[in-house]
Amino acid sequence: MKLLRIIPDNTKFPFMGWRRLSFPFSALISVISVLAFFALGMNVGIDFKGGSLFEIQAKSGKADISAIRTKVAALNIGGAEIQGFGSEADVLVQVELQKDGEIGQKRVVDAMHQAFDVDYVIRRTETVGPRVSSELVRDGTMGILLALVFITVYLWFRFEWQFAVGAMIATMHDLVLTIGFYAIARLHFDQTSIAAILTIVGYSLNDTVVIYDRIREMMRKYKKMPTDEMMDIAVNATLSRSIVTHVTVFLALCGLVLFGGEVIRGFSLAMLFGLIVGTYSSVFIAAPILIYLGVKVGDEKSDQSRTPNSAKVK
């Protein structure tokens, strides 16, 4: 039985030749992401800034957002962000952190129920105090930093230093672009966003390690071939596997974006963006940057340092 081949064998796409375009392009969009972060800021959710969030649904089948704003303003509970989502009956109401702490938060919950229980169903309520939100900010930041540190250490021992540096540059590229995406798309940045970033980092690194393994294998096999040609062969060798894996994940994420609901919408969109960016960075950033870091075919260290001692003794 003949196996299905989505990508033909022995493809010869000149990926390394695109590095003269991919590097300036990546630098440009990275700068745009950083500027968006500082100029627009993050649309921080209640997990990190504290407050109360209410997901309400109109009993009549259609929510009147203008009337909801008027009602919330009349409650005198401070600033509130009101937005529709999903169907025309669904609305999210996010109320700012109250000055008198838990007592104030409880007052907000009671006031919202009194104002909306007649015409709306309050499907979900979340309340986060100032102490908890500050701890979540600290723990989330530490989680990302520690993950990057341990990943760097692992890659340093797994490969030569050039591979570790290349993988971290590609990872930071993905991280910066994902943060920029959150800032520009105005997605809520909360605990699930931290999970999305760590998942994107892991997924991108997995793809990068697969390509790096194949590059190292080709370095031993083709000792007299130009470095860029050898790397093109290595990336092309992983192309079929990468496309099958990425298309499968892409379809699953599309399902989450379309049918997963508002609760995980930000997570799903960020993962979808991270999938595309991570695939791009593994091929067009992580692989070609090894050329600039001095990795060469026939490099004695790259070839011999990984050879078992028994094979060295003659």
> Which pair of structure tokens corresponds to residue 266?
């930000």
Q: How is the chain split into domains, by residue range?
A: 15-43+133-303, 51-128
Closest residue by Cα to residue 112 from 65, 53, 59: 53
Q: Encode pLDDT of 223-278 as tens digits.
A: 777 878 888 888 888 887 778 888 888 888 888 888 876 667 788 898 899 989 98
CATH topology of domain 51-128: Alpha-Beta Plaits (3.30.70)
Grade residue 34 by pLDDT with cuts at 50, 70 and 90. Answer: very high
Q: Is the pLDDT of residue 294 over 50?
A: yes
Look up the CATH number of domain 15-43+133-303: 1.20.1640.10
128 burial (CB, 10 Å; 0-12 / 13-18 / 19+) is buried
Over residues 60-111, the pLDDT tens digits come to: 778 878 888 888 888 777 777 777 776 777 888 887 777 776 777 788 888 8
Residue reference for tokens 């105090």 = 129
Higher pLDDT, 284 or 119: 284
Chain CA centroid to CA 115, Å? 38
Displacement of CA 280 from its chain's centroid (Å)? 13
- Topology alike, domains 15-43+133-303 and 51-128: no
pTM for the model: 0.73
